[in-house]
């Protein structure tokens, strides 16, 4: 059983960094009060524990999703992490702790208080990405195509396969103003900047 602690986990805001928070939580058998990126202000006076990003630990946690919760869990969890919802990290951690305990049925427990928020985030992110694949319009800047979006969620990773497949021989940029990030594409090569 996990003990609720009056501590805030701080991490670098990345996916591997979050996975290291999960690692720390599981091995310490504690549920923190909150998990926040380094640059997000804290609204509590609780002790803050800074979690460093270690790729070997992140890989171990990511591999555990499939092993412990089945084939649908990794995509569900990674998509939910793209959500712009405040407190998403703690919601996902609660889901993971349940999934580690009950196994694959966790992803089908739609009404459970630790499952419903994660399913809602995943659906919200997927819906927003789907809308943008249909409504995003590029402007021709001569040597490249450019588009600007203002999404609620960080959807660039979900837009990448669609637009890179649709315009494989073009150079384009999709700028996400909300997250100050961009998807850069040159023929057959994509990258992200922040």
CB 172, CB 163: distance < 8 Å: yes
For residues 112-138, give the mean pLDDT.
97
Written as six digits, the tokens of 34 are 């909150």
User: Over 70: is that where the pLDDT of 95 sits?
Assistant: yes
Q: For tokens 């702790």, what's the residue?
A: 97
pLDDT one-digit tens code per residue, 139-190: 999 999 999 999 999 999 999 999 999 999 999 999 999 999 999 999 989 9
In this model, does residue 41 exceed pLDDT 90?
no
Q: Which pLDDT value is given to residue 8? A: 95
Q: How far is CA 78 from the centre of its chain?
A: 5
For residue 160, count other CB atoms closer than 10 A to its CB.
17
Instruction: Annotate 32-47 with DSSP letters as a single string.
Output: -SEEEETTSPP-S-SE
Structure confidence at residue 1 as a pLDDT band (50, 70, 90)? low
Q: pLDDT tens-digit profile of 10-35?
A: 999 999 999 999 999 999 999 999 99
Q: What is the mean pLDDT of residues 91-108?
A: 96
Closest CA to 156 of 176, 130, 134: 176
Residue the block writes with tokens 């588009």: 147
CA distances to 136, 155, 159, 166 from 162, in Å: 11, 12, 6, 6
pLDDT at 138 over 90: yes
């Amino acid at each position: 059983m996990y003990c609720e602690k009056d501590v805030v986990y701080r991490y670098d805001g990345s996916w591997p960094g979050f996975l290291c928070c999960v690692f720390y939580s599981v091995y310490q058998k504690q549920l923190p009060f909150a998990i926040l990126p380094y640059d997000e202000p804290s609204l509590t006076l609780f002790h803050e524990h800074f979690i460093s990003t270690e790729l070997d630990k992140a890989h171990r946690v990511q591999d555990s999703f499939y092993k412990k919760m089945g084939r649908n869990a990794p995509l569900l969890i990674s998509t939910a992490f793209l959500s712009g919802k405040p407190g998403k990290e703690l919601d996902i951690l609660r889901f993971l702790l349940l999934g580690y305990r009950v196994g694959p049925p966790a992803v089908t427990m739609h009404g459970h208080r630790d499952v419903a928020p994660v399913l809602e985030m995943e659906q919200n992110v997927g819906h927003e990405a789907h809308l943008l694949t249909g409504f995003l319009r590029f402007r021709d800047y001569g040597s490249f195509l450019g588009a600007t979006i203002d999404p609620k969620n960080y959807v660039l990773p979900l837009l990448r396969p669609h637009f890179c497949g649709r315009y494989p021989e073009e150079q384009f940029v999709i700028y996400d103003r909300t997250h100050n990030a961009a998807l850069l594409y040159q023929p057959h090569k994509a990258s992200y900047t922040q």
